Structure formats: structure tokens, C-alpha cells
Structure 1
Amino acid sequence: MQRAAQRDDSAQPSQRAKRLRRALVCAAAVPAVLITAACSSDSGDSKAESGAGSTQSAGGGSTPPSASASPTVEAAAYGKLPDACAVLSKKSLEDLVPKGVKSAKKGSSDDPSSRGSCSWNSLDNNGVKGSQFRWLTVSLLRFDSDAARGSGADQAHAYFTRQAKDVQSVDGAKNTKVVPLSDTGAEATAVRYDLKKKEGLFKQQTVVARVENVVVTLDYNGAGLAGEKTPDAEDLTKAAQKALKEVVASVSAANGAGGAASSPSGSSEPSEPSKSASPSKSPSKAASKAPSASASSSAPPSRSAA
């Protein structure tokens, strides 16, 4: 019994040593598992972050973001203007300004391809029986397309709208009447009114039309001076409308059957009219200056676009 007890006592240290070694081995194995798991987790996060930062292509390379397209505008239909003094036939001028066919006076312009004007005046002097006076002015204004300002047609439409409105607010105008016109360019309007001056009663007609990216303004007035009968406003308006159609046709013909594009879309340099949608001189103010009989030998103030 004593020997068995001693054997048991001697075996206990050996068993305790074995159990201690087994515990140490297990304890050492735990950090290795944790480290392996941590490394696996970091590797996945790194791949996720890498995927979030760029789009991977099939070949392994990154696909750069697509660049936004540059803005473009429709190219202007008409790239030039006709000679303003040649937009009406001799026959038309004989009807409008019977005694002033050869009195054409061209307005100055720093860019004839974008703006131009011409005026005529006529005095049919019948001595003591009085005189018939006529004054005619044609103004042309062309707009180029521009990425910042828009298409030439849109700019021309905006100017046409302002022009038609300004004509209706001339100082001293009486009996103003606005008549929309058809079959004349893309849009057209006639404005007529009476203007009383010391020389007599002047009948003023202003007709405005837009054809593509060009605006045509035609001023035509008449008066019976020194006791001569005042011309009929309706007759003058019809004559002005007929002349406006001829001018619009001349603008289209100068650019060919379909018009000539002035520049590639979105890349044209703006002409002077594009920088300022309206001429430096207010058309409504110019129209209010009806010519006097004493000044009939020279061209009266015009509503030149130049």
C-alpha cells in the first residue's frame, strides 16, 4: 500500500507536466488563428476599397470617367447680306420714291456682312400746288450663332420682337396701328402711325421682318406739303409691305436657295450685331425725326442699323 501510494505521488508531477505542456500548446495556437483571420479580413477590405476607388475593366485597367460633351448651337443659315442699296428693283423705287430713284445714300458699316442700310428721298414739287414728299430707308441686321448667346435665328427673333415693340412707342405718334403680316419671312409685323410736324402731317409706315438669322426693317413715310393732299395711309402701308417682301427675297437670294452656313456649329466668332442685339441708335427715336421740306434735297435721318 505504501509503495502504491509512493508510485502515485511520483507519477503526479509527470502528469502535471504533461498537462501544462498541452495547455501551453493550445494557448500558443489561439493567436495564430486570430492573426490569420485578421489578415484575411484586411485583405478583403483592401480589395473592397480598391474597387470603390476605380472601375475595373475586363483587362484589369481602370476606365476613366467619360468627358461631358461641349455645348453646340445650330449654325446660322445666312452668312452674308446683299448690298442694301440694291435690294429693290428700279421699278419698285419708282413706285415708292418717284423723284428719288437716284438719291440712294448708303449707311456706313464696319462689317457689311452683318449690317447695312440705304435711304432714298423724293420730293415731287408742284410749285404753288404743293408737293408730295416720300422717304424710304431699308436696314439689314444679321446675327451669327454663338455658343454663349444662342443660335443666330434665336437672337434675330429676340431683336425682331424688341424692334416691333419699340416702333410703337415713338414720341408724338398718333393713331398707331399694328398689323401682323403673313407670307413674309419667318415672321413680320407692320406698324403705322401719324406724326404731326410743322411742315404737315406725315404718315409713317415701319415694317419689320425676320428671315432666318436676318432682321429687315423698312421705314416708309409720306406727306403732302404746302397744301398738297395728305397721302392715304392704307396705300403707303401696302406699298411698304410689297417692298418688304422684295427685300426679304433679296436677302435669301444673296445666300443661295438654301442659305449658306456662316460657321461650324458652336464655334463661330460673334459678329458685331451678336455683341449688341440692337444698333447704337434707337430706331424709334430715329423714326420720330420726320424730314422737313427744306431738307428734302439731302437724305433725312435714317434708322440705320449701322
Structure 2
Amino acid sequence: MHRSAPRLSRILACAAVPVMLVVAGCSSDSGDKKEPDSSESSASASASKKAEPTVEPAKFAALPDPCKSIAKKTVTSLVPSAKSKSGTAATSSDTSYRAGCSWNGLDDNGVKGSQYRWLDVGFTRFDSDQSLGSGAERARQDFDKQVAKAKVAEGAKKIAEAPVSGIGEQATKITYDLSKTKEDFKYATIVARTENVVVTLTYNGAGYAGAKTPSATDILKGAEKAAKEAVAAVAGTESDKPSGSTAPSEKATDKEDSPKSSDKDSSDGKSTNRKTSANKSSVKKTS
């Protein structure tokens, strides 16, 4: 019995060895499983980020100078006696997103009466936003809002709406009659969208003191011409200038603003000065 005791101890010790190895093996396996789980979760997170749809970037990052978006020649034609040929800029907290300009004047024809004209252009630009959508899509939504707004002018009569081709990617014309200051006005509004920018242009007129009321056709024709120029001015902002620049486009100006025209104007001025000097000298000789 005494001899069997040491033998029993050796047996128990040997039996303990495989138990420890098993425990160590389980511990090692557990560590191996954590590493692949961690990498798989990070790969899954990365894949989910890539799967998120991204909105297309907005095409235009700036707006043109609204008061230069319509050629001076056109303004003179539509508003002959404008109070300010340069236009009156609309108040805006950020002209890179919202800007406008207007011209108005009364062309007095004496006993034949007077003609009043008013022209207004407004620009609204939208950036692309991951949560709100692309700039173009946001502009489409605003386009619909501006059309709806133009159709509910207070006191408007004979309201008509129709699509217009050749002005931006989409355009709608809204025409109506409106009586105010005891005169009959003819109105035409053109709402157009070019990529992520919405252009809203309104032109109206009336005859005063017995003058004939302008025709709806002439008013609409003038509005469409000015709207085309305004949309072209927006396209002119996409150039090699740094993104976000709000500098007006040179394309938005007309021939009267070109260097050649300026040289011509200055030469005409010199010619006039020479004639004036000649007249003064002749007057001195006569006296």
C-alpha cells in the first residue's frame, strides 16, 4: 500500500498535463477567432460606406452680376426711359446664392401719352447636398415653386401658362393682364432652369394718359429675349476662374461694353471736343 502511493501521484500528475494543454488550446483558439471577427466588421463598415449613394456635384458655383446679365442694348429697347440704365440691384444676404436686378421708367410722349415699362430678373442657385439631393434636383423643385407663384398673382386675369423651348434645360411662360393705378398692364414671366440655377424674369408695361396699351405679344417677346440673355449669363460663369468666384461673366455684356466700343466712344469724345474748340475759336474771331 505504501509503494502504490508514489505511483498514484505520478499518474495524477500525468493526467493533469493533457488537461492544461486542452485549456491552453481553447484559450489560443478563442484569440484566433477575435482577430478575424474584428477585420470582418471593419470590412463590413467600409463596404456600407461605399454603398451609400453620392449626389452629383452642382455645375455652377457662382451667379453672374444680375445687373449685367442683360445687354444694355436690350435694356434700352425694353425700358426706353429707365431711371437707371445700370439697374437697381436687389437686396441679398449672399449674392452667390440669390441675386436680382430691376429696371423701370416712364417714356413721356407728351400729348400722345406715356409708356411705362418694368423689367426684373432674379437668380437662385442651389448646391448639391448629401441629405437634400443634387443641386439640379433642388433647382427643379424650386422651378415648380416659382411657376406656381407666378400663376397666383393677386388680381391677375386671363392667366395662361405654356412651356418655352430654347431657354435653358426647361422653361415656362406665364402671361396675364392686371389692372392697377387705373391702367391696364400686360405681364409676362419666364421661369427657366439651367442645371442648378433658376432664373425668373418678369416684364410688364402699360400706356398712360391715353397712350395705347402694349400688346401681349410684344411684352412676351421682350421677356423671352431678356430671359435668353440671363440664362446665357449663368453659363458664362463656368470658366477657368476659381470655383466659387462671383465675378460677372464677360459674356453677359454686350458690344457697348467691349474694349473696341470704349475706344470708339473715347474717339468720338475727342472729335466732339475738337469741334467744340473750333467753334469757340471761330466765335472769338467773329467778335
CA-CA distance at 1:168 after TM superposition: 0.7
SS in 2 for 1:254: coil
1:116 to 96, 99, 109: 99
CA-CA distance at 1:126 after TM superposition: 2.0
Residue of structure 1 equivalent to 2:69: 87
CA-CA distance at 1:93 after TM superposition: 0.9
Residue of structure 2 equivalent to 1:77: 59
Residue of structure 1 equivalent to 2:238: 255
**1:56–1:219 Cα change, 3 Å:** closer
Residue of structure 1 equivalent to 2:36: 55
1:77 and 1:260 in contact (8 A); partners too: no
**1:235–1:259 Cα change, 3 Å:** farther
Q: Deviations over 1:141-190 (max 9, x none)?
A: 11122222222111111111111111111121110011211121111111
Question: What are structure 2's unaligned runs of at least 5 residues?
Answer: 1-15, 246-287
- How far apart are the structure 2 equivalents of 1:240 and 1:228? 21
Aligned AA (1:109): S
1:79 and 1:259 in contact (8 A); partners too: no
- How far apart are the structure 2 equivalents of 1:226 and 1:213? 44
CA-CA distance at 1:131 after TM superposition: 1.3
Q: CA RMSD in A?
A: 3.5
Output aligned runs, 1:170-185, within 5 Å: 170-185=153-168
Question: What are structure 1's unaligned runs of at least 5 residues?
Answer: 1-34, 264-306
The reply to whether residue 130 of structure 1 matches residue 107 of structure 2 is no
| Greater RCO, 1 or 2 (C-alpha within 8 Å, sep 6+) | 1
SS in 2 for 1:65: helix
SS in 2 for 1:196: strand
1:99 to 59, 81, 86: 81
Structure (1 or 2) with the larger CA radius of gyration = 1
CA-CA distance at 1:112 after TM superposition: 1.9
Output aligned runs, 1:128-207, within 5 Å: 128-207=111-190
TM-score, normalised with respect to structure 2: 0.69
TM-score, normalised with respect to structure 1: 0.65
- How far apart are the structure 2 equivalents of 1:237 and 1:210? 18
Aligned AA (2:36): T
1:75 and 1:262 in contact (8 A); partners too: no
- How far apart are the structure 1 equivalents of 2:220 and 2:75? 15
Aligned AA (2:56): E
Aligned AA (1:100): A
**1:56–1:250 Cα change, 3 Å:** closer
- How far apart are the structure 1 equivalents of 2:223 and 2:125? 21
Residue of structure 2 equivalent to 1:209: 192
The reply to whether residue 237 of structure 1 matches residue 209 of structure 2 is no
- How far apart are the structure 1 equivalents of 2:31 and 2:185? 82
- How far apart are the structure 1 equivalents of 2:84 and 2:156? 30
- How far apart are the structure 1 equivalents of 2:106 and 2:154? 25
CA-CA distance at 1:44 after TM superposition: 9.2
